[in-house]
Amino acid sequence: MAQTSRRQETRKIASLGLAAWVLLLPIALVSLGIWQTQRAAETLEHARRSSAELSTTLAQVKNIAASDPTAILTFQGAGEPTSLAALVAVSQIEEALSQADEELEISQIRRPLVWGTIGGAVLAFFGGALGLMAAGISGIRARVSQRQLIASFQRLRSLLPFILATVVIGFSIGVISAALFEAVSMGLWADFTTGSAKLFAVAVVLAVIAAYSAFTALRGLKDVFALFTPEPLVAAGRVIEETEAPELWRFVRSLAGRQHALLPDTIIVGLGQGFFVTESQLRLWPEDRLVTGRSLYLPAAYLDLLDQAEIAAIIGHELAHFSGEDTTYSQQFTPIYAGLWRALAALGRADGGRFVLYPAVNLGFHAMQRFDHAVAHWSRLREFDADRSGSLLATPADAASALIRTGIIAPAVAYVLQRAYAGPDDTGSDDAWPDLVAQTTELVTTNGWSDPMPLLGDRQPHPTDSHPPTIQRISALGVEIGDDLLRRAMRQPEPGARSFADDLFSDWAGLCRLLSKDFIDDGRMMRDRRREVLEKVVAGASQETVVYDNVKPMIWTMVIVAMIFAGFGLTVVFLSGQLGLGYDEFAQSLIAAITAFGAVTSLLYAAFLYRSAARPLMVLTPDALLASRLDKPVAWTDVAGYAVYASSRFALRLWLNQDAPVPKKHWRAIYSKIDRRQRIITLGALGIKGMKAADFSALVGRYHEAAYARQELAAAMLHPSRDASADETAGKY
C-alpha cells in the first residue's frame, strides 16, 4: 500500500510539473506579452508626441535665429526654466529631435514583437492543451480493447508530431519575441551603462539560444514524423527444417490445428532462456540469417527437461499469440510503439534542445505513458488468455507445472552457459565439443533444483513483451500451489531415460552439440576480443612515468614578491623624508625589518621550491603509484576511483577499496590529506610540470585501467575455466 501511495504521489507531482511547463508557462508568456503591449503603446505615443512638438518648436526657433541669432529664449521644461541663445537652442532642439525620432523608430520596431510573444504563447498553450486532451482520450479508449488500443495509438502517432511541433514553434516564437523586445527596449534607456549593456547581451544571447534550440528541435522532430522501420531482433539459434525434425513439425501442426491458430513459418531452436513467438524480423546468429514471418523459438535445454504435456502447454501458449487480435497487435502495434519511444528518446537527447524543447518532449513522454498503462493492461490479459489456451492442450495443472519448472530450469541453464562461455579453448574437433544441454540435465539430476518459491514472483523472459509474475499466472489458471504441483514441477530427470525432445528430432544429440559449438565459439571469439582490448590497455601503460611539481610559476611569483618587499623597504629608507618619516627612526627601522623579513622569506621559499623541483612528485609504475607525500606506494588495484581537481588548487584524489591498506602522509605535505574513515587520499600540488590537468587525469586513468586489465589477464591465465558470474550462480547447486 505504501509503495502504491508513493507511486501515485510521484505521478501526481509529474502531472503537475507537466501542466506547469505546457500550460502555466505559456500563460505566463501571454501575461508578459500583455505587459509589453502596454509599455509599447505608451512609449510609441510618447515618442510621436515628442517628435511632433519638437518639430514645431524647432521651426519656430529657426525663424527667430534667422532674424536675431543672439536672441535669448526661455524654455520651460520639467524642472526650472532654461534660457539659451537662439543658435544654441537650435542645436540642442535638433539633438533632442534626433533622439525622439530614434525612440519613435525603436517603438515602431518593438510593437510587432509583442504580438509574437502573445501569439507564440497562445500557439504553445493550445498545442499543449490539445496534446494533453488527445493523450487522455487516447489512453482511455486504449483500455476498451486491443483493437481500440491499436486504432487510438495510430491516431495519436499521426497527430503527436504536429502537436509537438506546434508547442516547440509557439514556445520558441514567444521566447524569442519577448527576449528581443526587452533587448530593443534598452535602447530607450537614458542611462545605458555597462550593466545595461550586459543585460542587452543576455537578452540577445537568450534569443539566439531559443532560435537555435527551435531549429534543433524541429530538425529532431523528423525522427518522429518519419515512418519508423523496426530493427530486426537478434537471437542465437538454428532454423529447424521439417526434414530435420518431422515429429516436431507434426506436433506443432497438431497443436496449432487444435487451437485454430496460425502455424509458424519458421521454428528455431537455440540455447536462449525462454520460449517466444514473434512476427518481427529475426536476425539469427551465427549464420547471420534474416528470418521473416511467424517464428517460434524453442530453448533446447528446456525441451530436454520438460515432458510432453508441459511442452504442449507452453507451445500452445505461444501459438495462441498467432490467433485473434494478437497477430495484428504484434505486427501493427508493438514495433511502431517501440520505435516511437526510441524516436522521442532521441529527440530528448537532441543537442541544444534545452528549455525550448523541454515542454514538447515531456508532453510526448506523457502521451506515451498514457498508453503504457493500457499496453501493460492488455499485455497482462493476453498472457492470461494465452495461458488458458495453452492449458486446453493439456491440463491447467500441466500448464502450472510448466510455469514453475521453466522458472527453476533458468538458474541451471544460466550456470552451465556462463561456465561454458568462460571455458577453455582446448576443443580440437566436432566430436570434442561438449553437449551443454546434456550438462544442464546432468547438473539438475546430480544436484537437484533450487527453491522454487522465491522464483514465483519472477517474470518469464521474453525479448519484446513483459509477462505477469508466475504466481499470478498460476492463480489465473485456477491451480493451487500445493505439494502435488511442486512435486510434479520439481521431479528429477531419470538417468539414461529419453526425453520427449529425443522423439521430436531426428538427431537431438547432434543438434545440441551444434548449438553448444555455436555458443562456445561465440564465447571464444568474445574472449579473444576482450583479451585483445586488455592487452592493448596494458601496453598503453607498460613503462613508469615520472611527474614533477610545477613549481616554476610559484618561484617567479616569490621572486617578484621579494622584489616588491625590497623595493618598498628601500623606498622607506632613502625617501623617508618625503614620506613623512624623517624624524621617526623607530618607524623606519620597523618598516625596514618587516620588508626585509618578507623579502628574505619569499626568497627562502623560492629556494625551497627550486630544490624540491628536482625531486619527483609522483612516479606512476604499472603496479602502483609512488608519491613523495606518502610513506608507501598505493597499488592501482587498491584504487576504486580517482579524480583530478584544478580549480582552487591542484589535487589528485584517490578512493580506496574497502580492504586496501591506507598509507600515511609526511608531515611536510601540508596540502595533502588522508581521510581514513572515508578511505580517501588527496595529494595536493602546485600542478604537474609540462602537463594540463586533463592530460594528467588521462595519464592516471591509463595506469589505473591497465592495472585492472593486467589483473584480469592474469586471472584468466591462472583459471581459464573460471568466471565470476558463474561462481556466483554455482552457490545454488
Q: Which residues pair with 31 in a beta bridge?
A: none
Q: Which residues pair with 283 in a beta bridge?
A: 234, 290
**What is the Cα–Cα distance from 14 to 561, expressed in whole angstroms?**
58
CA-to-CA dists, residue 443 to 82, 115, 271, 724, angstroms: 109, 76, 16, 19
pLDDT band of 266, cuts 50, 70, 90: very high
Q: Of 381, 421, 139, which Cα lies nearest the Cα of 271?
A: 421
**What is the Cα–Cα distance from 240 to 646, expressed in whole angstroms?**
62
Q: C-alpha angle with apex 652: 646 to 656, nearest 5 degrees? A: 145
Helices (H) and strands (E) in the chain — how many of each? 22, 17
For 566-582, the pLDDT digits (tens) are 877 777 666 665 555 55
Contact 237, 515 (CB under 8 A): yes
Joined together, the cell numbers standing for residue 410 give 533458468
Q: What is the pLDDT of residue 128?
A: 84
Asked if the model's pLDDT at residue 662 lies above 70, the reply is: yes
Contact 463, 412 (CB under 8 A): no
Q: Of 147, 123, 126, 163, which Cα lies nearest the Cα of 368?
A: 163
Asked if the model's pLDDT at residue 350 lies above 90, the reply is: no
**What is the Cα–Cα distance from 328 to 102, expressed in whole angstroms?**
67
Q: What is the pLDDT of residue 247?
A: 95
For 278, the enclosing helix (H) or strand (E) is strand 276-278
Task: Note the Cα 170 to chain centre separation in Å.
Answer: 27
| Pick from 44-48, 100-104, 245-249: least confident | 100-104
- Following DSSP, what letter does each residue of 349-418 receive, concatenated? T-TT-HHHHHHHHHHHHHHHHHHHHHHHHHHHHHHHHHHHHHHTTS-HHHHHHHHHHHHHHHHHHHHHHH
542-548: average pLDDT: 89
Q: What is the pLDDT of residue 510?
A: 93
User: Percent of the chain, pLDDT > 90?
Assistant: 20
For 621-648, the pLDDT digits (tens) are 999 999 888 888 999 999 999 998 876 6
Asked if the model's pLDDT at residue 428 lies above 50, the reply is: no
Q: Of 164, 213, 218, 214, which Cα lies nearest the Cα of 364?
A: 164
Residue 617: φ, ψ to 5°: -75, -45
Asked if the model's pLDDT at residue 351 lies above 50, the reply is: no
Contact 236, 518 (CB under 8 A): yes
More confident residue, 599 or 514: 514
For 104-163, the pLDDT digits (tens) are 776 777 778 888 888 888 988 888 888 888 888 877 887 777 777 777 777 777 787 788
Which amino acid does the sequence have at 683? L
Q: What is the pTM of this model?
A: 0.62
Instruction: State the average pLDDT for the chain.
Output: 78
For 236-265, the pLDDT digits (tens) are 999 999 999 999 999 999 999 998 888 999
For 152, the enclosing helix (H) or strand (E) is helix 146-185
Asked if the model's pLDDT at residue 354 lies above 80, the reply is: no
Q: Of 725, 616, 146, 212, which Cα lies nearest the Cα of 379?
A: 146
Asked if the model's pLDDT at residue 432 lies above 70, the reply is: no
42-46: average pLDDT: 76
